[in-house]
Chain A
């Protein structure tokens, strides 16, 4: 195997460097492989260091300062974090984000699983339906969100009109209603990613051995029972993947909120990233924005860890 040079890695590196000086062409295979590996890796690692790792650390430092970019950051210790504890706007944004993430994630998991189950059966126009459902994933959320707000506009909106016709009058409009704005924003988020997760579930469904269903049928289990007792548990691996990916995406919700509601009405759809954007790039309070962005990292870390622990115990192996 190509991996066996492990333990001798570093001495070989020194040897290679010395040897390179006298006989540049005769490197040992291991050394040339190590050299190639480092050469291949270095551009990407350099870029990651400059544009991901360093900014992350810098943001942590800035979170302990007062900073408006014009004047140099001034160390204020835990002031920003103290402010966060007292800031009711932040509490509101965190609660909204968690509600969005919880409802949006559960919603998209249930819907994509159901849709995959439908698409896994043969029916006419199936591939057309699959393409249609996947299409939103590659469209720009912010651009389609403009269309959604027009559709939901109380005066000219087609969807508002249809809702009115069937008796769901929305009065001042869905996006201006404190009760309906959040569900609308969640629905648009689900709409965007539904097709992507459906594809993952479809692959999972296709990997379930058929004999399991035959055995269950022989034992007298009906289609609904088979779905809940067999299909759902056997899709646990996919559900872990979908749940983690959807949670990460949902906690970072911004685009459609920015376009459709700007966090309103009455901050009912204000989210964490919205608040980072507002604190930093509108109010120029970059220290506080950095502190909130680290709160976002912490929330994401905790949620991802909890989900992994929950689903790892239920992993499926054939």
Chain B
């Protein structure tokens, strides 16, 4: 009796879990399916998830109909450079706040926590104004500059560096290493998982960002993939397969990166919930 009840529970969980997974994956599966069939197959009645006709023309056509290579390059450069610079600045600042505290550093930390809660949208108008004055609207530097550091990143790295043992840096100090050496040769090699996690956080946030690139791109050529595809979908509502081919290409890099670093990433998120 008890055993069969347990088995029932297990089957129930499997069924529930799998149906959740399928429901969650539906739009992604549909993007894949719509990308590899002609538009006529999408509009044919009844709609199906499995393509009735296969084609890979969409992936070529999306480069002809849209400045897709430009969009891709813009997104890669924006997300890549912003992530790299932000990781550097966040790590240095987080390290200083955690490992090299001084009188007043708690005030700085408090300010960073306040900024953590600040909605980015409140800075939109002045940032746009600033970029216009610097003549950077529609350029890559204009897109990147506001993202070269983040309160979240600094706080995240501080929390990580706090968790490292103090003996380590004391050993370095006794050996007469400079603060930079201690950071570079002792602490930084230990922070790979944290850097990987924050890197993916940043990269996905910048790769996926909509409102800032939307504001900063005065033409389709200057947009990023999310902004460009949103603009295109707004104008050409009937080009389903073309839009979905572009979407699939836009989503793929992040999905691949995520699947590669999944374990580290998910574990780091789990620990942030612990405190």
Contact = CB atoms under 8 A, between A and B. Distances in A.
Interface in A25-39: 29, 32-34, 36-38
Contact of B273 (A33, A203, A258): A203
B151 A142 contact: no
B230 A259 contact: yes
- By CB atoms of chain B within 10 A, which of A132, A142, A155, A159 has the most? A142
Interface string B255-270: 1001100100010011
A313 to B, nearest CB: 17
Q: Which interface residue of B112, B117, B225 has the most chain A CB atoms within 10 A?
A: B117
Interface in A52-106: 52-56, 58-59, 62, 69
A161 B47 contact: yes
A51 B208 CA distance: 20
SS of B interface (majority)? helix
Interface residues of B, number: 104
B240 interface: yes
B120 to A, nearest CB: 8
Interface residues of A, number: 108
Contacts of A1: 166
Contact of A146 (B25, B154, B247): B247
B93 A136 contact: no
B70 interface: no
B48 interface: yes
B242 to A, nearest CB: 11
B100 A36 contact: yes
B211 A40 contact: no
Contacts of B275: 237
A115 interface: yes
Contacts of A230: none
Given A29-B173, A55-B130, A241-B273, A293 B125 contact: yes
A297 to B, nearest CB: 5
B30 A129 contact: no
Contacts of B208: 138-143
A7 interface: yes
B58 interface: no
Nearest to B203: A138
Interface string A133-151: 1111111111110111111
B179 A36 contact: yes
Contact of B211 (A34, A56, A126, A255): A255
Contacts of B129: 58, 69, 286
B189 interface: no
B13 interface: yes
A40 B250 contact: no
Most buried by A among B43, B101, B275: B101
Contacts of A241: 272-273
Interface in A4-34: 5-7, 9-10, 29, 32-34
A12 to B, nearest CB: 9
Interface string B129-147: 1101000000000000111
Task: From B18, B25, B102, B105, name the one whose CB has the most chain A CB atoms within 10 angstroms.
Answer: B102
Interface string A278-298: 001100001001100110110
The 3 closest A-B pairs by CB, nearest first: A9-B103, A36-B179, A203-B270
Given A45-B108, A51-B127, A135-B258, 10 more contacts: A32-B178, A41-B108, A58-B126, A129-B20, A139-B251, A143-B226, A146-B229, A158-B48, A199-B273, A242-B273
17 contacts: A9-B102, A29-B173, A33-B179, A45-B108, A58-B129, A69-B132, A138-B254, A143-B226, A158-B48, A191-B27, A194-B24, A207-B274, A248-B117, A259-B234, A281-B215, A286-B125, A293-B119
Interface of A: 1-3, 5-7, 9-10, 29, 32-34, 36-38, 40-41, 43-45, 47-48, 51-56, 58-59, 62, 69, 115, 118-119, 121-126, 128-144, 146-151, 155-161, 191, 194-196, 199-204, 207, 237-238, 241-242, 248, 251-252, 254-255, 258-259, 273, 276-277, 280-281, 286, 289-290, 293-294, 296-297, 300-301, 304
